[in-house]
Amino acid sequence: MAFAALLCIAACGADTGYPSKDITVVIPFNSGGAFDAYVRALVPGLEKHLPNKVNVLPKNLPGAGGRRGASDIFRARADGYTIGIFNMPGVLIPQLQNMPIGYELSQVTWLATLGYDSYVFVVKGDSPLNSIEDLKQLDRNITFGATGPGSTSYVATNIVNETLGIPFEIITGYKGSAGYLLGLIRGDFDAAMINYSTARSYVQSGDIKVLAVFGAQSNDPKIADARTLGAPELEQLRVMRMMGGPPNLPADIKALLETALLEAMEDTDFQTWLQSTGNEAHPADAVQTRTTVLEMTEFYDRFKQLLD
pLDDT at 174 over 90: no
Averaged over 247-259, what is the pLDDT?
98
Q: What percent of the chain shows pLDDT beyond 70?
A: 95
Which of the four pLDDT bands, split at 50, 70 and 90, describes residue 151?
confident
Averaged over 290-304, what is the pLDDT?
94
pLDDT for 16:
58
Over residues 104-117, the pLDDT tens digits come to 999 999 999 999 98
- Better-predicted residue by pLDDT, 31 or 48: 48
**Cα distances (angstroms) measured from residue 118 to each of 17, 174, 234, 282:** 40, 21, 11, 12
pLDDT at 166 over 80: yes
Enter the DSSP assignment of 193: E
Averaged over 193-210, what is the pLDDT?
92
What global pTM score does this model have?
Answer: 0.87
pLDDT for 6:
37
pLDDT for 65:
82
pLDDT at 22 over 70: yes
Provide the β-strand partners of residue 26: 59, 84
For 90-222, where are the E strands, in sequence order? 109-124, 142-145, 168-171, 191-195, 208-214
Q: At what angle do helices 176-186 and 196-205 cross, to 10 degrees?
A: 30
Strand pairing category for 238-245 and 208-214: unpaired
Which of the four pLDDT bands, split at 50, 70 and 90, describes residue 2?
very low
Averaged over 162-189, what is the pLDDT?
92
Half-sphere exposure of 67 (CA within 13 A, CB side): 17
pLDDT for 299:
94
Q: What is the largest CA-CA distance in the chain?
A: 80
Averaged over 1-10, what is the pLDDT?
40
| Calpha distance 146→131 (Å, rounded) | 21
Averaged over 25-53, what is the pLDDT?
93
Half-sphere exposure of 182 (CA within 13 A, CB side): 8
Over residues 191-201, the pLDDT tens digits come to 999 988 889 88
For residue 300, give the H/E element and its range.
helix 286-302
Averaged over 217-223, what is the pLDDT?
92
Q: Average pLDDT over the chain, rounded to whole?
A: 91
pLDDT at 286 over 60: yes
**Residue 242: what are its φ and ψ, rounded to 5°?**
-120, 140
Averaged over 24-45, what is the pLDDT?
93
| Calpha distance 165→139 (Å, rounded) | 12
pLDDT for 198:
85
Q: What percent of the chain shows pLDDT beyond 90?
A: 78
Q: Which alpha helices (DSSP H) does 165-250 contain, by range?
A: 176-186, 196-205
Averaged over 197-223, what is the pLDDT?
93
Which of the four pLDDT bands, split at 50, 70 and 90, describes residue 4?
very low
Over residues 69-79, the pLDDT tens digits come to 999 999 999 99
| CB neighbours of residue 259 within 10 Å | 16
